[in-house]
Amino acid sequence: MEKIMAEFIIAFMLIVAVTAYIAYPFYQANVQHISFEQNHRAEDLEARKTEIYSAIKDIEFDYEMGKLSEEDFLALREKYKAEAISVLRELDHQSQARNKKQRHHKAPKGQQRFCTQCGNALHVKDKFCSNCGTKVKS
């Protein structure tokens, strides 16, 4: 009886260990995965922006050819313009967030560099000043 109970306990512990081993990656935050999703979102937004611009050109062409009434043309154009503005704002927001993250990667204390022309703080990998465009001396 004790032998059977010990076998059940060992089997149960083995199942728990295997389940934990398999499930662990799903509960762990992965920075690269998040970065991939952000890049994927930016690509989706860029594709959507291109689609919207194409749709605006199409409705302008259809209007010029007489296929759309002025009322329909104006309604569709305003709809696509509003959608384009929304997409552009989201792209700007993502770009600003990405730039903000990059700015946090500064040189260690004592190694901070500044532009000789304008005094702007430089990042470690900068080859040109982001403020005035002056070439940075290595």
User: What pLDDT, in 10s, does the model give residues 95-133?
Assistant: 887 777 666 555 455 567 778 888 788 877 788 888 888
pLDDT at position 107, please? Answer: 47
CA dihedral 126, 34, 47, 83 (to 10 degrees): -100
113 forms beta bridges with: 122
**Looking at this protein, which amino acid is placed at residue 34?**
I
Ranges of residues in the chain with a pLDDT under 70 are 28-39, 101-111, 138
Q: State the Cα–Cα distance between residues 21 and 104, nearest whole angstrom.
A: 35
Decide: 39 and 97 in contact? Cβ < 8 Å.
Answer: no
Tokens 């749709």 label which residue?
55
Give CA–CA dist 133/79, Å, rounded.
Answer: 40
How many whole angstroms separate alpha carbon 57 and alpha carbon 78? 13
Task: Indicate the pTM of the whole model.
Answer: 0.47
- Reported as type and span, the H/E element at residue 113 is strand 113-114
